[in-house]
Amino acid sequence: MKLHFLTLALAVSAISQALCASIIPEDEASAAAKREDRKAARAVDSVLSSMTLEEKVGQMFVPAVFINTQAERDRALYLIEKCHVGGISMYRNKPTEAAGFINQAQSVAKTPLLTAMTFERGLAMRLDSAFNYPWPLTLGAVQDERLIRRMGRRVGEACARMGVNYNFAPSADVNSNPANPIIGVRSFGSDPQDVAEKASAYIDGLQSAGVLACVKHFPGHGDTDKDSHKELPVINADRQHLESVELYPFEKTLGNGAASVMTAHLDVPALEGGTGRPSSLSSGIVDGILRSRWGFDGIVITDALNMKGVSSNYPSGRAEIEAIKAGNDMLLYSADPETAYREVLRAVKNGDIRQQRIDQSVRRILSAKYRLGILTRRASQTDTSHLVRDLATVEDSSLCLTIMENAVTLLKNEHSGLPVKDLSSGNPVYVLPLGNGGSSVFTSVAGTYAQVKILPANSTARQVKDMLPDGARLLVSWHEDNPESFTPQAVPKGDVELIDSLSQLPGAAFVMFGNPYCLLQFDGWKKYGSVLLAYQNMWAAQTAAAEAVFGSIAPKGKLPVTLDGEFEKGEGLTFKPIGRLAFGFYPQGGISAGAMCTVDSLLADIPATGSAPGGRLIVARGGRMVIDRSFGTTMYGDSLSRPVTPGTVYDLASVTKVSATLPLIMRLYENGDIKLTEKLGEVLPQYKGSDKQGITLTEILAHNGGLPAGIPFYKYTVDKKTGEPLPEFYSTVRSEEYPFQVGDSLFTCASYPDTVLARIRACSVKPKRYVYSDLDFYLLRSVADKFYPQGIARAVQDEFYVPMGAVSMGYNPLDRMPADSIAPTMRGNSFRKGYVIRGYVHDGGAAIYGGVSGHAGNFSSAYDLAKYGQMLLQKGYYGGHRYLKESTVDRFTRYVYGTKDNSRSLGFVKKQIGAKADNYDAFLSDDAYWHTGWTGTIIVVEPRLDLVYVLLTNRTYEEKTFGLFSENSYRFKILEAIVKSMEQSMEKHRK
């Protein structure tokens, strides 16, 4: 096998050659590649022939560069200008400062530099404010190598944005020793083939972005218990083991096109003959294996030569000379680079090193620079404006979450304990977070699926058991506290004992947010019925683990290492997702950055124009919430106002019709309790003899029964002149006679709901035609009440909301939550003058109906309303439970009449038939259905795009300006920007 680095396809060259190969004959493509090789060789020869010996020797040095002080910067520039170094290796710093220095360094270098950093898990490994991807060991659990390739590509793009063209990554070490102090999570795992494949995927992605990869630490640093930074580790394996385990990933990755390899400082007797010579200085290992056996012709670079594994016995100068003799091309981090440079020059001049040997290495270095596009022209200067923003993008976050969702590993799942399905008891899911790391993301994401109660970490086992009701679900999680650690952290004795003591509780599951080798420290976790391994404690791991626990994703990861012989490498269980909403980012929904800017601009405009104080937006596509925005505040300029949060609850107003009353009617229909053709007088005998007796349930649901639009019921309960509440209808004290609270210290009489129904019975019906009427849903509440003696508020919670985990959803929210979690809907108007209406229904008719009406009164967070919408989108299925039959959802969400005069379904609004092309709903399909609410709310289900859209605001809070919300058509402008972007994305993919 002969590998020519000159033919490695990097950057633009890689893409262009691949495209050419796909559209022109193979022999022609081969000829083009050969021409490119000859062109490269001529360019390299031209530069090489013009270089002095001093310049050639300098090209082999890659000094460490620190720029925290001016003296350090000056020192680095001196080495570039006077010692002609071929590259620089930079360490921890700020992105803009590092990029700025790279610009300066390239500007003074006669021959453009290889600018190197170590970014194994992304740029955050060395740069603050940059994006942090998972450790390679976590990637080892991922079975879809395309994700690792995508990560490598994204890391490469970020490197290029920084001006870094050489990444000292990935590690191809096989981590077969849990006690390894320096590799650990930097390895892809303990299986040589897996390590080779995943390292190759990372390299492919990185180099496709035009950045050199460096596979390390040859010949393999995985099976050591010593750190070569501190001493020379010994690898005592025999030759056969080394060939099949340690060397295998290096041979494969170099054969697959890795641009360079880093030699480690190891004592490998089976390869070096027991001389104790570091592998980095061994010609038998470097030249013998890499060059002679494998035919590798790319760059070979040493590991840092200031490390004790080599520097203890080889001082600066001698180490570099021996490294060159061994076959290394570049010398990393000399302890004294200036001295080493002079010593190498002396060795060449006195014949200790042949100049031909120097030329071989320099040719490889210059060839790499040619392929990077920097040899024959000055390296471009990095634009540092917006640099930090560009190093941590939403695309990074999206990819990182996807990686973690593919990494989480289900090690045990007795009795199908996970996912958590049944929430019908209404009991919270209890979470006990242990360890010193943060757990807020895990608990908050879990809290979007179910009511969650967090137990104090300092609880005793007895206290925990006493706090748990019968049948409660308990999640015990352990969180590492040092994300920078390569090695497993110690699990405190108290945590070990508590984990063990709680393992036998029925329904308990254990979730590990840390290095899997931490599990070797104790056995209690093995006693849990369900064990989920998340590998590390980053936000994406906590999100993915919560998603897996509640079944919105399937665990797909496989254990990358063996744990104590009981859990073997490659083990990992799975289950089918149960249809709960997962989390995500707008690119995953096919939404462009431009469309997202439009959405964010419109959201910011809502409070800025006084259209509403604030609100919440959720957009779900493909079962994943791809937009999750909170904007504005709960009130205007009030001391009690708070920023809107994900948990803020809103009055849904008329969205109540389709989110509370309608699902109960749908359930009654599919159970055979009612027929849509039945007439009102047949279902509700009290309407016999009235002009409403012949209206069918279909006509009521489609607002086609001829009922008037509404009756201002509350106006009959206030003084006509002053608008003050009349004492016969209201009291400031709750009593049996005045049980219904409509505001702070304001209660209405128990008899008034009967008066409301009497007024509806007495009103005149006009000829049957479409008139949107709240009265239709007053009547439908009466229909539901007939079959649900507990009342619709309790029925819809028991039948739908509680089992869904929609704990915020329901009538009269103050019975379940504090007032400050609810956005107020008005202040000082109607019959509740002087009151801020917060937690009491805004609609006056619903208020005097006890807050529970068929047309208004329901409250919800955006998350919980989105769950309901997703259930409808999934044809009645959500969270492992079927709430409605598919046929029922289809029947209630299609057109009833399908005419220009009535374009509704049984309850929902649909696209207007026969409307102009510029109608507000023109961009939606005929399958879409939705409903809006007076308070500034909307839910839309668009099956064509697998889309659920929820926007909640409290636009009615300020009476003087709330009309602006509808005038500006925010609900549909935002939706239109999203839908059109999705359509454009679909069209692009079709092409």
- Which residues are designated catalytic? 229, 303
Instruction: List, in sequence order, every beta strand (DSSP E) within 767-856.
Output: 810-811, 826-827, 836-837
Cα 390 to chain centroid distance, Å, stands at 17
In degrees and rounded to multiples of 5, residue 430 shows phi and psi of -90, 135
Answer yes or no: are the C-beta atoms of 421 and 413 closer than 8 Å. Answer: no
Structure-derived torsion over alpha carbons of residues 103, 108, 111, 114, reported in degrees to the nearest 10: -30
Mutual angle of helices 145-162 and 192-208, in 10-degree steps: 40
| Residue 791: exposure state from Cβ atoms within 10 A (0-12, 13-18, ≥19) | middle
In degrees and rounded to multiples of 5, residue 867 shows phi and psi of -60, -45
In degrees and rounded to multiples of 5, residue 316 shows phi and psi of -60, 130
Which amino acid is present at 768? Answer: K
Q: CA-CA distance, 154 to 164, in Å (whole number)?
A: 13
Nearest to 189, CA basis, from 249, 115, 270: 249
Instruction: Give whole-number Cα distances, 797 to 108, 659, 788, 893, in Å.
Output: 71, 11, 12, 22
The total of other beta-carbon atoms located within 10 Å of residue 901's CB is 10
Q: Which residues contact 333 (CB under 8 A, 6 or more apart)?
A: 62, 63, 64, 89, 304, 305, 306
What Rg, from alpha-carbon coordinates, does the chain have?
A: 35
Q: What tokens were used for 947?
A: 């889309």
- Strand, helix or coil for residue 352: coil
Q: What angle do CA 214, 164, 52 make, to 5 degrees?
A: 80
Q: CA-CA distance, 263 to 285, in Å (whole number)?
A: 9
Outline where 430-579 has alpha helix (H): 440-449, 461-467, 493-501, 539-549
Give the DSSP letter of residue 573: B
Q: What angle do CA 247, 248, 253 make, to 5 degrees?
A: 105
Q: CA-CA distance, 477 to 574, in Å (whole number)?
A: 19
744: left (phi over 0), alpha (psi -120 to 50) or beta: beta
Instruction: Give whole-number Cα distances, 551 to 272, 546, 578, in Å.
Output: 53, 8, 5
Nearest to 505, CA basis, from 548, 473, 479: 473
Nearest to 853, CA basis, from 732, 676, 713: 713
Give the DSSP letter of residue 952: E
Q: Which residues contact 180 (CB under 8 A, 6 or more apart)?
A: 221, 222, 223, 224, 225, 487
In degrees and rounded to multiples of 5, residue 540 shows phi and psi of -70, -35
The total of other beta-carbon atoms located within 10 Å of residue 601's CB is 12
Listing from the earlier edge strand, what are the strands of the sheet with 746-748? 730-731, 746-748, 740-743
What is the secondary structure of 58-108 as a DSSP string? HHTEE-EE--SSHHHHHHHHHHHHHS--SEEEE-SB-HHHHHHHHHHHHHH
Q: CA-CA distance, 214 to 117, in Å (whole number)?
A: 11
